[in-house]
Structure 1
Amino acid sequence: MALDRPRTIPDDATPRERELLAENARLRRIASALMERVESAGVAGAAPYAAFEHAVLLAEQVRERTEALQQTLAELHAAKAEAEAANLSKTRFLAAVSHDLMQPLNAARLFTSALEEHELPAASTRLVGHVGRSLQDVEALLGTLVDISRLDAGVLAPDVAPFPVSRLLDVLAEEFRQMAAARGLTLHYVRSEAVVASDLALLARVVRNFLTNAIRYTEQGRILLGCRRRPGGLEILVADTGPGIPEAQREAIFQEFQRLGERRDAEDRGLGLGLAIVDRIAGILDHPLRLASVPGRGSLFAVRVPEGRLPAAPPSAPAPAWEGDLLAGMRVWVVDDDPGICEGMAALLAGWGCAVRTATGLAALEADLDAGAPDEAADVLLVDYHLGEGHPDGLAVAARLGERRPGLAVVVITANHDAAITGLARQRGYGCLLKPVKPLRLRMQLVALRGGSG
């Protein structure tokens, strides 16, 4: 190669020229060695410069494609973050407005329940029954939607506390016994005196979905609600004599909008979200689920709850022996900023024999009391937690009225599932009910308060 030929040094070259020519020769030797390396590492059969240029071109293409890929990934991350932010905003909004969504539904349920306490013509009774069932459907669907939104938004925090499991299951057994009978089924309930530690409202949602599905898919036979002792806990189970669940579908039914079978009659308005909610709530509570089923013979759904221990309570005086209706003559104050709910609650409680005084706020109730008989008192206060912007909340109202009426029993009613609210209510010895209020649960709460069991 011409690159390798040494140049002749002229005789008349100066020392500086001789030095530069020698350095030039050295650099030529280095360049020659580098070219040999390029040639040996190049593409087989290609010229060394062509191989070198090919390698440089490939490197440039890799760099350009890497930059394009990074740009695309950045755009995808930005789009994903924007979509997640929009979805979170939607779910947080729906979770936040649940109180406003539940207010009119709560009032309607109270009015229909009050009507059911009256003697009506047969045609009117049927109409009230249809209205009540329609409102129950709306409540179930809206409650499911709100629950999913709260779970997606991450605003559902459990309020774990010890309580007798009968406090939960007694109410559910009475409620679903009537629903089962309406479909020609028998609900068998095995009562337990065990104490568990869980979030009562969230656990109720789990067991309620078990019972709803058992009644929905069982054509004939019976439903069993009961408990079994397990190491370190109690297993609450619901079993049925329905069609059973094929093994291939046992995981899918816990996913959103997955439903078993082809049942689509007028009474079946579910969204296929019940067991998806169960699965998420069980995860939040860290309560293991169990499913056992034999196709053609039935299914069993169970949730295992840790054992709890109730704090020691001082001995109380024996409860008075009330005659007649357990709630007859009970004096109840109702405070809710919605006049419709006040009116509906008054109608329902009056039908149970209670003496009711309602108000839309603390100031209105105190003014009403000051204008009435000075010795007028109440046995129970039913107070909404959210009483409007700029007004004290239900806990503050309960504390103020408790000063006026020492020993006043309190039940806080709220559409907010925030664990902090239920926790504060429990710490102060108050009962707590979620909207829309189920009349049966309210009645059992009042009966417990009158009996002195709290």
Structure 2
Amino acid sequence: MSNAEAAVLPGQRPWIAERLGITGRRVDAERGQAIVRLIIVPLFGVYIVSVLAFDGLNTLGDWLAVSAVLAYIPISFLLFWHIVRRPGHFVWRRMFAMCGDYGAMTLAMAAGGMGMLPIYATLLWVTVGNGMRFGSRYLLAATGMALAAIAISTMFNAQWRAEPYVVITLVLTTLIVPGYIDSLQRALRGALDEAREASLAKSNFLAQASHDLRQPIHAISLFTACLRDAGLGREERQMVENIDRSLQSVAGLFRSLLDIATLDSGKVEPKLAPVRVGNVIGDVVHQYSEMAQWADVELRAVPCNLVVRTDPALLSTMLQNIVSNALKYAPDAPILIGCRRRKGTVSIEIHDRGPGIAEEHLDQLFDEFYQVRERGDRDIEGVGLGLSIVRRVGGLMGLDVELRSVPGSGTSVVISGLEPCREAVRPIVPAATSAPSAIAGLHVLLVEDDEDVLLATALLLRKWGCQVQVETGIPKIASEWDVMITDYDLGGRKTGADCIMAVRELVGRQIPAIIVTGHDETRVQRDLGDDSVPILAKPVRPAELRSVLTTKAVAAHQ
């Protein structure tokens, strides 16, 4: 891999990569070099002028050296200004700066006798700095210029010529130090390449495993919903509830795996919009109300009418992971969610009165796969990804996440940095209250390539009174459908987006559509390019499917 192609691992700090010469995300490397130049050149000039002035500035070479160094100070500022105005990779600009650096140092070392020998330290620093910031090719060029500077200085500096061993030492140091650093950089790049490939393999495995395992879980969830409405006895209904509870726990695990894989891909981009904080909090409370009942937890939210500019889906993901953790680690304890103004921003706070967390664990809780485990603790579902996802999603939106905990008193998580705004919030169209009558008799086109999921979904829709036409691929003959529900992956290189486009062209109208998928919703939405099509993540809760279907049914009949 070339220097220009070297990449930075997810989560790696860019300035570390720049210092190591890894240029995949070297956004400010040239600016950093220019800032160093602004500091060094004036100090460098003061030293040179002081030494030469002390000797009396007796020769033309002395005056040339002083003039060159003083003239290079404004040139350094002009270089910095140009880099700020036109950031990017300009070979001519870098070479011009390097020639200026080495030219000024060469004049000083040539004119100043042994008093200029300390300038060599700066010369070596500049040589290594160019290689560390810009890569091996620039290191080679900088080493060549440094050797030329030593040769020219020795040619015109009688005192250096009188000390040949000093000159030999300078030449060997100029060859050995950059060469050794370059070998270390190459080894480090190789290790980072391997780590990056391992990270990508892990992310791909997590994403694929999550997607594949969601299919049977999704089918089981739908079959369970059908069983619940099958007139079972009390004992059988309790068994169905227990199955459903276990399914939701497994679904939460797969959701975390998919979230972390999506974040590792680097393709998550926040879509900021005016959002009422209370609506996002209310949705999360509603989603986890059933789980809170199972855990015997009072989950409550303080009403909030503040409007902020954020990505509601990503903010909801953060809150879901925090609330899920609180329900798992603080059972039988109340949870309170609220928001408040803080120094011109808005913060969301989640408090529980659970057992709390010991101080030695707090710094590691945001690490992937870290869980607080003490001897004799009960088994907790999950793999320790929740808070890692929270911090990484928060970082994408410029939000800070702080965790405070007191053993025996509870834990608080604060999401801060939300930007308040006064823009109008897009109104939410409420679902029809008469759900059964809205979907009864609805003509639904169901497209799904997995037979178990197809059977379970069709069975559930028919129990709700819908008339369902099932297809394992894009239909060829039009019919009077009111709504279509399609999986995203349909086989044969066809997707749900292709299916929606083909069906709408087939029927000659914008038939309402719903996509069900086990992939990342952001990726599917980007491929679809239509915000009016809701995307439901597998495994879909039947109540969620029914709510969305009701909304589409109302739209279809308007």
Could you say whether these structures have the same fold, taking a TM-score greater than 0.5 normalized by the shorter chain as the test? yes
Kindly indicate whether residue 481 of structure 2 is the aligned counterpart of residue 377 of structure 1.
yes
| Deviation digits for residues 201-224 of structure 1 (CA, Å, limit 9, x no counterpart) | 332221111111111222433122
- Paired residue type of 1:440: A
Where in structure 2 are the equivalents of 1:186-335 lying within 5 Å?
Answer: 186-192=298-304, 196-228=308-340, 234-260=346-372, 262=374, 264-266=377-379, 268-304=380-416, 305-307=418-420, 309=423, 322=434, 327-335=439-447
Of 407, 429, 449 in structure 1, the residue corresponding to residue 532 of structure 2 is 429
**Contact 2:258 2:519 (C-alpha < 8 Å) held by counterparts:** no
Change (3 A) 1:387 1:163: farther
Out of 244, 250, 253, which is 1:132 matched to?
A: 244
Q: 1:82 and 1:210, CA in 2 relative to 1: closer, same or farther beyond 3 A?
A: closer
Identify if the C-alpha distance between structure 1 residues 158 and 446 changes in structure 2 by more than 3 Å, giving closer, same or farther. Answer: same
Q: Aligned-pair RMSD on alpha carbons?
A: 4.1
Task: Point out 4+ residue stretches in structure 1 off by more than 6 angstroms.
Answer: 54-66, 318-321
Q: Please give the residue correspondences for 1:392-407 in structure 2 after superposition, counting only pairs within 5 Å.
A: 393-402=495-504, 404=507, 406=509
Q: Aligned pair in 2 of structure 1 residues 237, 66: CA closer, same or farther (>3 Å)? A: closer
Shift of 1:81: 2.0
Q: TM-score, normalised by structure 2?
A: 0.59
* Aligned pairs (5 A) from 1:117-128: 117-128=229-240
2:491 alignment counterpart? 388
Q: Which amino acid aligns with 2:321?
A: N
Q: Check conservation: 2:432, 2:438, Cα contact below 8 A.
A: no
Residues 250 and 82 of structure 1: CA distance in aligned 2, closer, same or farther (over 3 Å): closer
- Alignment of 1:360 onto 2:462: no
2:230 match: secondary structure: coil
| C-alpha distance 133-342 of structure 1, shift in aligned 2 (>3 A) | same
SS at structure 2 position matched to 1:252? coil
Q: Which runs of 5+ in 1 are unaligned?
A: 1-32, 42-51, 371-375
Note if contact 1:383-1:411 (Cα within 8 Å) is conserved in structure 2: yes
How far apart are the structure 2 equivalents of 1:127 and 1:427?
40
State whether residues 118 and 351 of structure 1, in contact with CA within 8 Å, keep that contact through their aligned partners in structure 2.
no
Aligned residues of 1:187 and 1:224 also touching (Cα < 8 A) = yes
Alignment of 1:39-118 (within 5 A): 70-71=182-183, 73-92=185-204, 94-95=206-207, 98-118=210-230
Residues in 1 aligned to 2:252 and 2:432: alpha-carbon distance in whole angstroms: 38
- Bigger mean CA deviation after superposition, 126-135 or 340-349: 126-135
Distance between the aligned counterparts of 1:382 and 1:132, measured in 2? 23
Aligned CA distance change for structure 1 residues 428 and 245 (closer, same or farther; 3 Å): closer
Give 1:253 shift: 1.5
Query: What's the TM-score once normalised by structure 1's chain length?
Result: 0.71
- Report the AA paired with residue 356 of structure 1: V
Decide which moves more: 427-436 or 68-77. 68-77
2:259 to 147, 172, 176: 147
Query: Mind listing any 5+ residue stretches in structure 2 that lack a counterpart?
Result: 1-157
Larger radius of gyration: 1
8 Å Cα contact 2:515/2:535 also seen in 1 = yes
2:265 is matched by which residue type in structure 1?
A
1:276 CA displacement? 0.9
Q: Which AA in structure 2 matches 1:105?
A: I
**Secondary structure, aligned partner of 1:254:** coil
Given that residues 412 and 425 in structure 1 are in contact (C-alpha distance below 8 angstroms), is that contact kept between their aligned partners in structure 2? Answer: no
Superposition deviation, residue 341 in structure 1: 1.7
1:159-199 CA distances to partner (integer Å, 9 max, x unpaired)? 44455556644443233222122222212234555555443
User: Matched residue of 2:503: which SS?
Assistant: helix
Q: Is the 8 A contact 2:435 2:550 kept in 1?
A: no
Counterparts of 2:404 and 2:425, CA distance in 1 = 35
Deviation string, structure 1 residues 251-301 (Cα, Å, up to 9, x no partner):
3211223334637424x1221221011111111122332434444332232
SS in 2 for 1:362: coil
Letter in 1 for 2:503: L
Corresponding residue for residue 518 of structure 2: 415
Q: Which residue number corresponds to residue 26 of structure 1?
A: none
Kindly indicate whether the alpha-carbon contact (under 8 Å) linking 2:259 and 2:389 is maintained by their aligned counterparts in 1: yes
Deviates more, 1:214-223 or 1:89-98: 89-98
Structure with the bigger percentage of helix:
2
- Indicate conservation of the 8 Å contact 2:275/2:425, yes or no: no
Q: In 2, Cα distance between the equivalents of 1:412 and 1:157? A: 21
Equivalent residues of 2:259, 2:520 under 8 A apart: no
3-state SS of 2:326 partner: helix
Q: How many residues align?
A: 396
Is 1:439 aligned with 2:542?
A: yes
Q: Retained in 2: the 8 A contact 1:158–1:419?
A: no
The answer to whether the 8 A contact 1:159-1:199 is kept is yes
Give, in whole Å, the separation in 1 of the partners of 2:442 and 2:414. Answer: 39
Q: Which amino acid aligns with 2:384?
A: G
**Higher mean Cα deviation, 164-173 or 428-437?**
164-173
Which structure exhibits the higher relative contact order, with contacts defined as CA atoms closer than 8 Å and separated by 6 or more residues? Answer: 1
Q: Map 1:173-188; keep pairs closer than 5 Å.
A: 173-188=285-300
Letter in 1 for 2:399: H
Relative to 1, partners in 2 of residues 1:238 and 1:79: Cα closer, same or farther, differing over 3 Å?
closer
Q: Please say if residues 190 and 225 of structure 1, whose CA atoms lie closer than 8 Å, have aligned partners that are also in contact.
A: yes
- C-alpha spacing 1:420/1:258, structure 2 compared with 1 (3 Å): closer
Say whether the 8 Å CA contact 1:172–1:208 is kept in structure 2.
yes
